[in-house]
C-alpha cells in the first residue's frame, strides 16, 4: 500500500474537507495499529530506550533475531519503550494474536531461547522472567498494574499511556491510538487559539519545569505580543542529574510532544517552533526529529496543515553539554547562534525572545499534556492532583533504593508510600535526605517523610523545591557532604561566567567544601557559606540565585554532619577519604596479594606475608577492600579536632 503524502491533501478552509483530510490519514493508521495490537502471529517487542540499551538491549535484540531466523520461527520482532521498571531492563514484551501481552525482564542475550520458545508455543518457557500482563489474560500471570512499583500510580496511566503499547518510532501507532486527533479537531471545528489557551487555564495546567506557573497564562503572554512574528520553544535541555522524565516522553512517545508543540504553535499564533534537546539524549534527538519528518510527510506539520490555513514549522536544536542553557534566556541565546549565556529579565521572552522576537519557552511535559487535555477536557484533567496543582506528572527515582525507574504520579502523592514503592532504602541503611530539584534544588531531611507529598507547597516549608521530577533517595551510607561537594562542583562548572557573584561565589563554595573534606575545616566556614549564600542570590539568573540552596539545606537540617567534619573531623560513614584509613588486618591472608595487584597507587609496602599500607600513598578508592574483604579493612581516621577558639 502506498503511503499517503501531503500532496494528496486537498487545500481548503472548509471544515468538512479538513476533517476528511484527517480521516484519510487516521483510518489506515487505525487499521495498522489494530493489526499490531492483535497480530496474526506472536510478536516479540524489545524495549529500545536509553535505559534498556545501557542494560544490553541491543545484544538481546540481536540474539532474539538470530535465533528466530535460525529456527525460521513463526513470529515477528518489534520494538517498544520500557515500561518504567528500569532495574529489570532489558524488558521484552510478547504479544499474542488474541491481543494479550506479557512483559518479561531482565532478558539478557542468554534468555533469547526462553523468550523465543515462549512466543512460539512452549507455554511457560519464560515464566521465570515474566513480570506482569500488559494487556489481556494469560494463565495466572498478574497484571503489571498490580506490581508494587506502580502502587502509587493511577490505575490507568495518562501522559505515558502509550508506553509499552506502541512502537515510539511509528506515527501510525500514535494516530491509531488517538494521536493527532486533538490538533485535527481544533482545526476542523474552527476552535480559536484563545479557546485552546483557555482550556489550559480551566484545567489549571501548571508548567512542569519546576516553577509550576500556569501554562495557559504564559501562552497568553506570547499570543498577545504585538509583533506578529512569534516563536514557540520547547525546553528539552533536561540537565538536572538524576532527572530523566523528559527523556521518557521524547523516547517513549515523541509524537505526543510534536503534537503538543504544534498545538502550542497554534495557540500562541507562532509560525515556527524549536525543540531544544540536550546532547546527552541522542536517541531522543533521533526520535523527535523522525516524528517531525513523519508528521511533515503526512501534512500534519509545515505549510497548510491538513489543507487548512494554519502553517507551522518545527525543528530540533541539539545542545552541546551546557546545563545553563536550560535557563530560558540561556536557551534562547543558544538557539540564536551565541554562547548559551542567560541574560537579565525583563524583558521576558514573550516580549524579546529568539531573534529578538516574542517567544515562549515551555517544558517538554507542559507541552505533552496539552493534546490529552484537549482530547479529554479540563474536568478529566483535574480528576487527579491537589488544590494547588492539578493532573499527574512524571517522576524519576534513583539513589539508594532497589527499584530505579519512573512513575506517573498525581500531584500530592505521599512520599512515604512512594519510597515504599521504590522498595525502601536498600541494604539496611536509613534514609538520610531527599535530593529533589537537581543542583539548584534541595536536600530535604528524612524527618519530612511522614508528611511530605509531591507538590511544591509541601516542599516550601523546608526552604526546598520539588523541582522538575528527579528524586534521589540518599541514605546514611554516604556522607552528605559528598553530595554537597558534587552539587557545588556542578553549579560552579556550569556557571556561564557572566556574573561574578555566580562564578566566583560558586568557586568559593566549592573550595570550602573540598577543604572541609580534606580535614581542614575552619570555624568560620559556616558563616562564610552563609555570606556566599546571600551573595549568590544577587546573581542575574536562577542558576546563580538557586545554586546555594542545597548548601543552605545542609546547614539548616544537617548541621551535626557538617560540624562532624569541620569541628570533630571525624566521619563514621568512612566515605570521606581524609578521615578514613585502610589497614591490612590479616597479612597472612593470600588475598592480600590480590589487593597488592589491584592497587592503582602502589600503596602496599613490605614483602608478601608482611604487607602494610602506606597511608600517604593510599587514595582510598576501595579496590583492595573489594578484592580482599576482611583481610584489608577500612576504619575511621581521627584527625586532630579543631582547636577551641
Cell, residue 421 = 514503592
> Which one among 92, 103, 472, 536 touches other proteins, defined by CB under 8 A?
472
Question: Can residue 623 be called a binding residue for other proteins (CB under 8 A)?
Answer: yes
Residue 404 contacts other proteins per CB under 8 A = yes
Considering only residues 248 through 267, tell me which ones interact with other proteins, judged by CB under 8 A.
none
Q: How many CA atoms lie within 13 A of 557 on its CB side?
A: 22
Nearer of residues 253 and 400 to other proteins, judged by Cβ: 400
**CA triple 393-483-538, angle to 5 deg:** 80
Among 474, 516, 542, 565, binds other proteins (CB under 8 A): 474
Task: Tell the smallest beta-carbon distance from residue 186 to other proteins (Å).
Answer: 27
Binds other proteins (CB under 8 A): choice among 74, 344, 598, 608: 598
Taking CB under 8 A as the binding criterion, the range among 215-223, 344-352, 376-384, 489-497 that sits at the site for other proteins is 489-497
Q: Within 573-592, which residues bind other proteins (CB under 8 A)? A: 575, 577
What string of DSSP letters covers 507-561?
HHHHHHHHHHHTT---TTHHHHHHHHHHHHTTSSSHHHHHTTHHHHHHHHH-HHH
Strand partners, 235: 276, 363
DSSP character at residue 307: G
Closest by CA position to 587, among listed 559, 555, 628, 550: 628
The nearer residue to other proteins, 21 or 341, going by C-beta atoms, is 341
Which one, 51 or 390, has the nearer CB to other proteins? 51
Residues in 314-333 at the binding interface with other proteins, rule: CB under 8 A: 317-323
Residue 347 half-sphere exposure toward CB, CA atoms < 13 A = 15
Q: Say whether residue 337 binds other proteins (CB under 8 A).
A: yes
CA distances from 127 to 83, 123, 504, 521, 558 (A): 18, 8, 58, 56, 47
Q: How far is the CB of 397 from other proteins (least distance, A)?
A: 9
Residue 4 CB, shortest distance to other proteins, in Å, is: 27
**Which is closer to other proteins, CB of 29 or CB of 627?**
627
CA separation, residue 329 to residues 85, 205, 339, 538 (Å): 35, 23, 11, 17
Interaction between residue 619 and other proteins (CB under 8 A):
yes
- Give 119 or 422: the residue with its C-beta nearer to other proteins: 422
- Which residues 500-539 are close enough to bind other proteins by CB under 8 A? none
Our CB check for other proteins shows the closer of 372 and 433 to be 433
Query: CA 267 to CA 271: how far, in whole Å?
Result: 11
| Closest distance of CB 337 from other proteins, Å | 4
Q: Strand, coil or helix: what is 208?
A: coil
Nearer to other proteins, 215 or 627 (CB): 627
Distance in Å from the first CA to the final CA of the chain: 85
| Residue 435 touches other proteins, criterion: CB under 8 A | yes
Does residue 12 interact with other proteins by CB under 8 A? no
Binding to other proteins (CB under 8 A) within 46-75 occurs at 50-51, 53-59
CA distances from 495 to 322, 338, 466, 508, 542 (A): 9, 16, 22, 13, 11
**Is cis: bond before 103, omega within 30 of 0?**
no
Is 154 in a helix, a strand, or coil?
Answer: coil
Q: Least separation, in Å, of the C-beta of 174 and other proteins?
A: 21
Q: Scanning residues 100 to 139, which ones bind other proteins (CB under 8 A)?
A: none
CB of 618 to other proteins, least distance (A): 10
Q: For residue 494, count other CB atoms closer than 10 A to its CB.
A: 21
Compute the least distance from the CB of residue 543 to other proteins, in Å: 14
Any idea what DSSP says for residue 214? Answer: B
**Looking at the DSSP assignment, which residues form a beta bridge with residue 605?**
612
Tell me the number of residues near other proteins by CB under 8 A.
72
- Which residue, 192 or 626, is less far from other proteins as judged by CB? 626
Q: Does 338 bind other proteins (CB under 8 A)?
A: yes
Q: How far are the Cα atoms of 9, 28, 371, 593 from residue 23, in angstroms, in the given order? A: 11, 9, 18, 73
**Minimum distance from residue 477 beta carbon to other proteins (Å):** 7
Stretch that binds other proteins, among 96-104, 173-181, 447-455, 619-627 (CB under 8 A): 619-627
Amino acid at each position: 500500500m502506498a503511503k499517503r503524502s501531503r500532496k494528496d491533501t486537498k487545500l481548503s478552509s472548509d471544515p468538512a474537507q479538513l476533517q476528511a483530510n484527517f480521516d484519510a490519514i487516521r483510518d489506515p493508521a487505525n487499521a495498522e495499529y489494530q493489526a499490531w495490537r492483535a497480530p496474526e502471529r506472536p510478536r516479540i517487542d524489545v524495549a529500545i530506550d536509553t535505559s534498556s540499551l545501557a542494560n544490553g538491549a541491543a545484544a538481546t535484540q540481536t540474539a532474539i533475531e538470530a535465533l528466530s531466523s535460525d529456527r525460521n520461527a513463526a513470529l515477528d520482532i518489534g520494538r517498544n519503550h520500557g515500561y518504567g521498571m528500569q532495574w529489570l531492563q532489558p524488558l521484552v514484551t510478547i504479544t499474542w494474536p488474541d491481543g494479550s501481552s506479557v512483559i518479561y525482564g531482565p532478558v539478557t542475550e542468554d534468555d533469547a531461547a526462553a523468550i523465543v520458545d515462549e512466543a512460539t508455543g512452549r507455554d511457560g518457557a519464560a515464566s521465570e522472567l515474566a513480570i506482569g500482563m500488559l494487556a489481556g489474560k494469560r494463565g495466572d500471570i498478574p497484571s503489571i498494574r498490580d506490581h508494587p512499583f506502580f502502587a502509587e500510580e493511577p490505575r490507568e496511566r495518562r501522559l505515558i499511556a502509550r508506553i509499552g503499547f506502541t512502537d515510539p518510532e511509528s506515527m501510525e501507532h500514535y494516530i491509531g491510538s488517538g494521536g493527532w486527533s486533538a490538533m485535527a479537531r481544533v482545526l476542523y471545528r474552527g476552535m480559536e487559539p484563545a479557546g485552546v489557551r483557555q482550556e489550559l487555564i480551566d484545567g489549571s495546567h501548571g508548567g512542569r519545569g519546576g516553577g509550576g506557573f500556569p501554562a495557559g497564562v504564559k501562552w497568553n503572554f506570547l499570543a498577545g505580543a504585538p509583533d506578529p512574528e512569534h516563536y514557540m520553544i520547547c525546553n528539552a535541555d533536561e540537565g538536572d542529574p538524576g532527572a530523566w522524565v523528559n527523556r521518557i516522553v521524547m523516547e517513549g512517545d515523541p509524537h505526543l510532544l510534536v503534537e503538543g508543540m504544534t498545538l502550542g504553535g497554534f495557540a500562541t499564533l507562532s509560525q515556527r517552533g524549536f525543540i531544544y534537546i540536550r546532547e546527552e539524549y541522542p536517541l531522543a534527538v533521533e526520535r523527535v526529529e523522525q516524528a517531525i519528518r513523519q508528521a511533515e510527510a503526512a501534512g500534519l506539520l509545515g505549510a497548510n496543515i491538513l489543507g487548512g490555513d494554519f502553517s507551522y514549522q518545527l525543528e530540533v536544536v541539539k545542545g552541546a553539554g551546557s546545563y545553563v542553557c536550560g535557563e530560558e534566556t540561556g536557551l534562547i541565546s543558544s538557539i540564536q547562534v551565541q554562547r548559551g549565556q542567560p541574560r537579565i529579565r525583563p524583558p521576558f521572552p514573550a516580549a524579546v525572545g529568539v531573534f529578538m522576537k516574542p517567544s515562549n519557552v515551555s517544558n517538554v511535559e507542559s507541552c505533552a499534556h496539552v493534546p490529552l487535555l484537549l482530547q479529554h477536557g479540563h474536568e478529566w484533567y483535574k480528576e487527579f492532583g491537589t488544590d494547588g496543582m492539578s493532573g499527574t506528572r512524571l517522576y524519576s527515582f534513583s539513589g539508594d533504593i532497589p527499584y530505579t525507574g519512573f512513575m506517573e504520579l498525581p500531584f500530592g502523592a505521599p512520599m512515604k508510600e512512594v519510597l515504599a514503592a521504590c522498595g525502601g532504602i536498600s541494604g539496611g541503611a536509613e534514609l538520610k535526605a531527599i535530593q529533589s530539584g537537581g543542583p539548584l534544588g534541595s536536600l530535604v531531611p528524612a524527618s519530612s517523610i511522614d508528611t511530605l507529598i509531591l507538590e511544591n507547597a509541601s516542599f516550601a516549608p523546608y526552604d526546598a523545591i520539588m523541582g522538575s521530577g528527579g528524586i534521589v533517595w540518599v541514605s546514611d551510607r554516604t556522607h552528605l557532604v559528598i553530595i554537597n561537594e558534587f552539587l557545588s562542583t556542578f553549579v560552579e562548572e556550569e556557571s556561564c561566567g557572566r556574573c561574578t557573584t555566580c562564578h566566583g561565589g560558586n568557586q568559593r563554595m566549592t573550595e570550602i567544601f573540598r577543604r572541609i573534606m580534606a580535614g581542614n575545616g575552619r570555624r568560620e566556614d559556616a558563616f562564610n557559606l552563609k555570606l556566599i549564600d546571600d551573595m549568590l542570590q544577587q546573581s542575574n539568573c536562577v542558576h546563580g540565585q538557586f545554586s546555594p540552596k542545597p548548601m543552605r539545606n545542609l546547614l539548616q537540617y544537617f548541621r551535626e554532619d557538617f560540624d562532624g567534619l569541620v569541628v570533630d573531623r571525624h566521619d563514621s560513614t568512612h566515605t570521606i577519604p581524609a578521615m578514613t584509613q585502610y589497614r591490612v588486618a590479616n597479612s597472612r591472608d593470600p588475598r592480600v596479594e590480590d589487593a597488592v595487584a589491584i592497587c592503582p597507587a602502589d600503596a602496599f609496602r613490605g614483602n608478601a606475608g608482611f604487607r602494610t599500607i602506606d597511608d600517604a600513598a593510599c587514595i582510598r578508592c576501595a579496590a583492595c577492600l573489594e578484592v580482599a574483604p576482611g583481610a584489608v579493612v577500612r576504619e575511621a581516621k581521627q584527625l586532630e579536632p579543631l582547636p577551641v577558639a
